[in-house]
Structure 1
Amino acid sequence: MLLNKHVIVGICGGIACYKAVDLVSKLQQAGALVDVVLTEKADEFVRPLTFATVSHRPVYSDLWEPSGEAAENHIRLAEEADILAIVPATANTIAKLAHGIVDNMLTAVALATQAPLLLAPAMYKHMYTHPATQANLALLRERGAFLVEPEVGRLASGAIGPGRLPDTETLLGAIKLVLGKKGDLAGCRVVVTAGGTQEPIDPVRYVGNRSSGKMGYALAEEARDRGAHVVLISGPVSLPVPYGVELRRVETAAQMQAAVFSAVTNADVLIMSAAVADFRPAHPASQKIKKRLGGGRGAGEGENTGEQATDGSFSLHLIKNPDILGELAQMQDLPRRLVRVGFAAETENVVENAKDKLHRKQLDLLVANDVTRSDSGFGTNTNKVTLFHANGVMEDLPVMPKTGVAAAIWDRVVSLLS
């Protein structure tokens, strides 16, 4: 996504500018061409050499240097830029941009460029909430600028409130989102499911699986980076929420079914990468089941969660969960053509089981993997998948990071949409 993108990072004179060092470094590591432009006060917080070291490129700051090269540089930078991200954006610079004031290198580049403008404000809480700052931000948004809202937290002054610069991952997500506005999924609404489900036995225990959600979250981020509006329906996972993605949390298969059926009514694509439990306890206990009592007795009046044998073993009564993709295949009243992609996590007979699922659930594409492999199982950062197409084509992809698998899947979905 960021490879060979020309990203200009504007740095204003605020204490939060030290965080921009990590952002510039991460952009460079992702393959972006990063040019840093400092305001005259920013280099009193972080020296230009620091940014030059992590960007591997010159740093620009003085519009009035005697050689006259800056006059050419600000135009060159403006014309070459794919995006101008001002991180942090101070109240002073925001006011200048809103009213077209050009008195330094950064504001000159900002006024000259046709690239999208991304602002990440960071300042004292009352400066951010001041009507003047809010009016300036509103004016810039009306003109097409994108805003990364500051976080509420502890500020440099020691106060607690809005004005804290978000972390690097959030800023990277915002930059990718803006760069992807003209991607090959622009205008599409996609639904991605991720993670496993948890079916309660009692308020303490549940029936679950080993899914980490990493594949689904990678799919959601890739779709966002291509310009799609993404609804991510996630079971319980320990992953950060991708920036710019609409997250809907669920726990059980029934909750996921309801969320999916609601989301697909105006969607173009559904990718079911979640590991949905096939079975659930028939009668979850309302209170914790005690080992000494066993079964549902003592867990709640009239409950029959399971049965305890005389040897102390316990049998749990399970019933089938709804088949979300199977039921979707039978629905005739969807308002538009829905591209459907399923996943099959197998431990044996991968090809046979995948082909059966593909046709039985009327999918356009099925992604199958052998979860017994060490490089393709639950929780890994890589995946080894085989793609099964509705027309009978089978693609065996090499082991690659889950981000790469996500890109490959969306490449095929884009072809199906077109």
Structure 2
Amino acid sequence: MKKTIVLGVTGGIAAFKAAQLTSNLIKKGYDVEVIMTKNATEFIAPLTFESLTKHNVMVSTFEKVADRSVKHVSIAKRADIFVIVPATANVIAKIVHGLADDMLTTTFLAATCPKVICPAMNTNMYENPITQNNLKLCKEFGFEIIDSADGYLACGDSGKGKLQDIALIEERIEDILHASSELKGKHVLVSAGPTQEAMDPVRFISNHSSGKMGYAIARAAANMGAEVTLVSGPVSLSTPYGVNKISITSANEMSQAIKEHMEEADFIIKAAAVGDYRVEHISNEKIKKQGDILELTLHKNEDILAYIGAHKKPEQVLCGFAMETENLLENAEEKRKKKNCDMIVANNLKTEGAGFQGDTNVAVLLQENGKEELGLMSKYELGKTILLRMLEIQANRKGTSVSC
């Protein structure tokens, strides 16, 4: 059955972005009902949303409807989530004080589903103590705030108040709609991204890891109810909602961060592509060209996965990754045994859909009792699968069962 998203659109310049969000959600199979304030119709026509959703857009509380239902109540009852994009200072003030003087605020007050507020306004309006107090009240009432971004605003000012990126809003809506509690009470420690080993103030040695796999696992763990710590190398990804991120640069920094947090973890997932070697002497100045050959002395970095495998507690479940270009299963199984991992996620860099930079992966899960070959799937879905298998491993140790 389709999930129903009620999308409130208020009178701000960012109202046009709500049309793109609506289109994206419709393409993913959600049913979207749009409610607009009268001021919002000055920025974008209701016909735009009606064409996308195939539903009438409600503006007035007193509009006649064919089935003579109390429309604001019927929509509120069907809503799986209520999102206001953009949310002006005016509508935020009204909803936190229970004012219901139009279709949007009336339906919002009647709805009992999860509610999400996406503020967008002038910087001074956003930073005004009254607005900040109203946003605080929203949180106290249990509404989720997807906070404004910094940037150049339509009024010409620069600062906080810009509507958050539509992709992030869309991702959070889906996370809320599909949230579960399989990992409630668990602490998941994930490493992600590359490490960088400096040569001089300008150059470093690194790899092609984008961090997408580790971030997808962290997001999945948070959506499954876990407390999540993400130790991340330098990447250009947004931190998943509800995840505690620790940013590092070098392999040594990653090792220290993981050692500091592994004691409290139930599940440890090493998805980072950690550099095997570091430069012996880092130059204080930029290294100048010195002919056709540059010689560097490299020292081996600590094997973080091996350290965890040797020091993990009996109840902790450890998952590593093995990206290979040949002899995938043999090399991955050898790594699993050598590093004392409960599970290894093996993938071949040369397999289509399984590379560093993409949003998909093709993997084989190796455990002591055998292997599980998985087809092409999103990194997020693979992350969920990994976590469920780790939950099964832990349950089997305790002699209990888990429903997946």
TM-score (norm 2): 0.89
Contact map agreement 2:36 2:59 (CA 8 A) in 1: yes
User: CA shift at 1:379, angstroms?
Assistant: 2.5
Deviation by residue 1:279-325 (Cα, 9 ceiling, x = unmatched): 22222222233333x7xxxxxxxxxxxxxxxxx54443222211112
Residue 392 of structure 2 is aligned to residue 394 of structure 1: no
Higher alpha-carbon Rg: 1
Contact map agreement 1:13 1:41 (CA 8 A) in 2: yes
Counterpart in the other structure of 1:252: 250
User: What SS does structure 2 have at the residue aligned with 1:316?
Assistant: coil
> Which residue identity lines up with residue 153 of structure 1 in the other structure?
G
User: CA shift at 1:244, angstroms?
Assistant: 4.1
Moved more, 212-221 or 143-152: 212-221
The whole-number CA distance in structure 1 between the counterparts of 2:78 and 2:288 is 68
Counterpart in the other structure of 2:344: 366
Residue 396 of structure 2 is aligned to residue 404 of structure 1: no
User: CA shift at 1:67, angstroms?
Assistant: 4.7
Residue 309 of structure 2 is aligned to residue 339 of structure 1: no
User: What SS does structure 2 have at the residue aligned with 1:102?
Assistant: coil
Cα distance change of structure 1 residues 62 and 254 upon mapping to structure 2, 3 Å threshold:
same
User: What is the 5 A alignment of 1:91-240?
Assistant: 91-179=89-177, 182-240=180-238
User: What SS does structure 1 have at the residue aligned with 2:344?
Assistant: strand
Counterpart in the other structure of 1:355: 333
Identical columns (%): 41
Contact map agreement 2:280 2:297 (CA 8 A) in 1: yes
Deviation by residue 1:110-145 (Cα, 9 ceiling, x = unmatched): 111111111111222232233332332222221211
Unaligned runs of 5+ in 1: 295-311
User: CA shift at 1:195, angstroms?
Assistant: 1.7
Cα distance change of structure 1 residues 68 and 100 upon mapping to structure 2, 3 Å threshold:
farther
Contact map agreement 2:7 2:33 (CA 8 A) in 1: yes
Cα distance change of structure 1 residues 229 and 53 upon mapping to structure 2, 3 Å threshold:
farther
Unaligned runs of 5+ in 2: 396-404
> Which residue identity lines up with residue 73 of structure 1 in the other structure?
K
Moved more, 174-183 or 402-411: 174-183
User: What SS does structure 1 have at the residue aligned with 2:319?
Assistant: strand
Cα distance change of structure 1 residues 326 and 70 upon mapping to structure 2, 3 Å threshold:
farther
TM-score (norm 1): 0.86
The whole-number CA distance in structure 1 between the counterparts of 2:100 and 2:66 is 17
User: CA shift at 1:71, angstroms?
Assistant: 4.9
Paired residues in the alignment total: 395
Contact map agreement 2:347 2:362 (CA 8 A) in 1: yes
Counterpart pick for 1:322 among 296, 302, 307: 302
User: What SS does structure 2 have at the residue aligned with 1:114?
Assistant: coil
The whole-number CA distance in structure 2 between the counterparts of 1:49 and 1:246 is 42
> Which residue identity lines up with residue 201 of structure 1 in the other structure?
M
The whole-number CA distance in structure 1 between the counterparts of 2:108 and 2:274 is 48
Contact map agreement 1:177 1:227 (CA 8 A) in 2: no
User: CA shift at 1:192, angstroms?
Assistant: 1.8
User: What is the 5 A alignment of 1:231-310?
Assistant: 231-292=229-290
Coordinate RMSD, CA, aligned: 2.4
The whole-number CA distance in structure 1 between the counterparts of 2:293 and 2:133 is 67
User: CA shift at 1:386, angstroms?
Assistant: 0.6
User: What SS does structure 1 have at the residue aligned with 2:195?
Assistant: coil
The whole-number CA distance in structure 2 between the counterparts of 1:284 and 1:41 is 60
The whole-number CA distance in structure 1 between the counterparts of 2:186 and 2:175 is 14
Moved more, 188-197 or 270-279: 188-197
The whole-number CA distance in structure 2 between the counterparts of 1:378 and 1:112 is 46
